[in-house]
Amino acid sequence: MASSALPALFPAVKIHREYFGDGAMRQTSPMSAALHLGAEKLLVVGVSGRRNLGSLTVQRANTVYSPSIAQIFAQLLNSAFVDSMEEDIDMMQRFNSFTEDMSETKRQQLHVRPVEVLVISPSVHFDEVAVNHVSSLPKSMRLFLKTIGATRPSGGASVASYLLFEASYCQDLMRHGYEDCLAQEDKVRNFLR
pLDDT in tens, the chain (193 residues): 666 777 767 788 888 999 888 776 667 788 888 888 989 999 988 877 655 444 445 566 666 667 788 888 888 777 777 777 888 888 888 999 999 889 999 999 998 888 999 999 899 888 888 888 988 988 998 898 888 888 765 667 788 888 888 899 999 999 999 999 999 999 999 999 8
61-67 long-range contacts (CB < 8 A, ≥24 apart) are 67/155
Could you report the per-residue pLDDT of 89-132, keeping only the tens digit for each? 888 889 999 998 899 999 999 988 889 999 998 998 888 888 88
pLDDT number for residue 146: 87
Model confidence, pTM = 0.72
